[in-house]
Amino acid sequence: MTRRDALVAAAGLGSAVLLSPTAASSAVRPIPFGSAAQIETFRADPRYRQALATYCDVIVPMNDLKWEAIRHDRALFDFAGADELVGFARSQGKALRGHALLWGEALPPWAREMSTRAEAERELVDHIETVVDRYKGQIETWDVVNEVIKFDPLPGEPMRDTIWQRLLGPAHVEIAFRTAARIDPKARLVLNDFNFEEPGPGTAARRKIALDLCRNLKDKGIPVHGIGMQAHLYADKPLDIDGLQNFMVELGKLDLDVEITELDVIDWKLPADIATRDRAAASLVGTFLDTIVSVRRPRAIVTWGLSDRYSWVHETFPRKDKARARPLPLDADFKPKPMMAVLDRYRRSQS
């Protein structure tokens, strides 16, 4: 029985075991913590703005740097929402992540209708040149590509079926990274994806593909600095502790950073009791972060929102009992939950 198995057995919490608080807090320097910010909520709810200012070292515009927001009209670039959030972050001395220069979703209709390789390459390069140049020196880290890996990869079929893959093939990844690096050589460039965390051959394959894509970029001399783990964790599923630790070892071999980019907990299969759900979610986040940190210190830990009042999880993963999801570190009244205490161990820890 490994030490981990013994911990798991002793904790009786399934895979979601919380290593001793001192194990985490003595291990790492403070890790920048942050959140995604949704412009509509930012404009409408002063408590939301205050929470971003109070808790975050890092802010990422949740939707306002996506093609859907910037390029709704092919003839222009609409930066209104992004500029507002970037301006807020800068005024508050927060670091910024950009999300995302290339994604197969959240595209305006005209982009979804592109039909030739030349058109796709021209639009992709033009978009990245314009967006990265505008925020050069302000947005220090970019999700250059988001979710380019096939959900359930097949042998010889690693890439997700998107307009970019269809028109450009796997080269869409290189084009995106090469262009971003050319415009802002100081920016940190990240490959962002999800579903790296659970046990199973599909998830292991996704981790391997992410590493292979980054290795391919490095072999061609194209700058890539890290892998973004979205980390939308499922409270009813175990973590692949060994798989995650091996992933961190492999990242180290490639001299790649890890960033936790969209952390939240999908609790739709948990009992309704709030204390039970909050404890399980906090424990899962603690186990996940302890596992990562035990091998490699993340450059940042970013949650996909701060308050349960505003989360994609409630609509996307509706509970049968219609109870509101509790995926984030603050409750719907912006009060800290047990998850925030776990996150505090990383965002405030002193080595």
Asked if 312 is part of the footprint of ligand G3I (rule: CB under 6 A), the reply reads yes
Q: Is residue 262 a contact point for ligand G3I (CB under 6 A)?
A: yes
Tokens 């980390």 found at: 231
Does the protein bind ligand G3I through residue 108 (CB under 6 A)?
no
Cβ distance to ligand G3I smaller for residue 35 or 230: 230
| Alpha-carbon separation of residue 11 from 176, 275, 280 (angstroms) | 45, 17, 12
Q: Which of 42, 57, 60, 66 binds ligand G3I (CB under 6 A)?
A: 66
Size of the site for ligand G3I (CB under 6 A): 9
230 is a contact residue toward ligand G3I (CB under 6 A): yes
Least Å from the CB of residue 9 to ligand G3I: 34
Q: Is 302 in the site for ligand G3I (CB under 6 A)?
A: no
Q: Is 105 a catalytic residue?
A: no
Beta-carbon contacts of 185 under 8 Å, excluding residues fewer than 6 positions away, are 223
> Alpha-carbon distance 158 to 149, whole Å?
6
The verdict on 63 binding ligand G3I (CB under 6 A) reads yes
C-alpha to C-alpha distance for 85 and 87, rounded to whole angstroms: 5
Phi, psi of 99 (to 5 degrees): -140, 115
Active-site residue among 147, 197, 250, 259?
Answer: 147
Question: According to CB under 6 A, which one of 17, 37, 60, 62 is a site residue for ligand G3I?
Answer: 62
Is there binding between residue 125 and ligand G3I (CB under 6 A)? no
Indicate whether 206 belongs to the interface with ligand G3I (CB under 6 A): no
**Alpha carbons 172 and 233: distance in angstroms, whole number:** 28
Nearest to 244 by CA among 299, 188, 290: 290
Between CA 58 and CA 351, with CA 347 as vertex, the angle to 5 degrees is 130
Residues with catalytic annotation? 147, 262
What residues make contact with ligand G3I under the rule CB under 6 A? 40, 62-63, 66, 106, 146, 230, 262, 312
